[in-house]
Amino acid sequence: MTDNYQKLIANLVGSKLIAYNRDIAECLNNDIASAIFINQLLFWWRKGSNPNEIWKTDEEFYRETGLTRKQCIRCRQILTKKGWIKVVRKGLPARNYYILNLRKIAEDLHNFFGTVIPKGNNKICPKVTTSCSQR
């Protein structure tokens, strides 16, 4: 009987596991929903036909992460205000296209944790000076 429970749990955990980076959550004032949202965008970064954009509907975010539409709206507002993402609505039916500001994300994490930012071409992610709130 215990073996059946273990198999059931292993199947459930292995099929829809949602992971997020705790450091990113901490940098976002321990906002787990926003950390899950940005981690999901980072997961999909460079996996589509356009390496600089990720399109997702709120329904897809819900299916992939469990975040509700209301949570997605709040996460978009927080991450846009921080300068981590830019959201553009386009297409029919309209979809949200997300552009990640990787340089800003890296700078904020650097300012928050004091880690090293890799140097490199930054045409897509212009430098922005705002940082995460300090500990």
pLDDT tens digit string along 69-119?
A: 999 999 999 999 999 999 999 888 888 999 999 999 989 988 888 765 555
The distance between the two most distant Cα atoms of the chain, rounded to a whole number of Å, is: 58
The first and second tokens of residue 93, run together, are: 């039916």
Average pLDDT value for residue range 124-132: 41
CB-CB contact of 20 with 39 (8 Å)? yes
User: Is the CB of residue 18 less than 8 Å from the CB of residue 25?
Assistant: no
Taking a C-beta distance cutoff of 8 angstroms, is the pair 93, 82 a contact?
A: no
Residue 13 CA neighbour count, 13 Å, CB half:
6
Structural domains in the chain, CATH included, are 18-100 (1.10.10)
What are 38-80's pLDDT values in tens digits?
Answer: 999 998 888 878 878 999 888 888 988 999 999 999 999 999 9
Looking at every residue in the chain, the average pLDDT score rounds to 81
DSSP classification of residue 43: H
Nearest-angstrom CA–CA distance, 73 and 78: 9
pLDDT digits (tens, 9 = 90+) for 111-120: 888 765 555 5
pLDDT for 13: 67
Question: Cα–Cα distance between 88 and 55 in angstroms, integer?
Answer: 9
